[in-house]
Amino acid sequence: MAMITKSVVAETAKKSGMRVSASVYNALDKAVQELLKKAVSRAKANGRKTIMDQDI
């Protein structure tokens, strides 16, 4: 499941004068998935069912 929007990533990079390699999207997806897994674990460890900014 894609966690990021390619067009938003490309647009953001373009604003900085950069282009985005096709492999970046998969790497970003994996990074976001790992970040969310850690946030879920932290929220559960704190007895919550809601992920909050401090979990990131």
pLDDT tens series, the chain, 56 aa: 788 999 999 999 999 999 999 999 999 999 999 999 999 999 999 999 999 999 99
Q: How is residue 4 written in tokens?
A: 């990021």
Give 18's DSSP letter: -
pLDDT score at 3:
87
Residue-level pLDDT at 1: 76
In this structure, what token pair is assigned to residue 16? Answer: 């900085």
0.85 exceeded by the pTM? Answer: no
Q: Which amino acid is at 56?
A: I
- The pLDDT score that the predictor gives to residue 41 is 98
Instruction: Tell me how far CA of residue 3 lies from CA of 6, 11, 16, 30, 46, in angstroms.
Output: 10, 16, 22, 8, 25
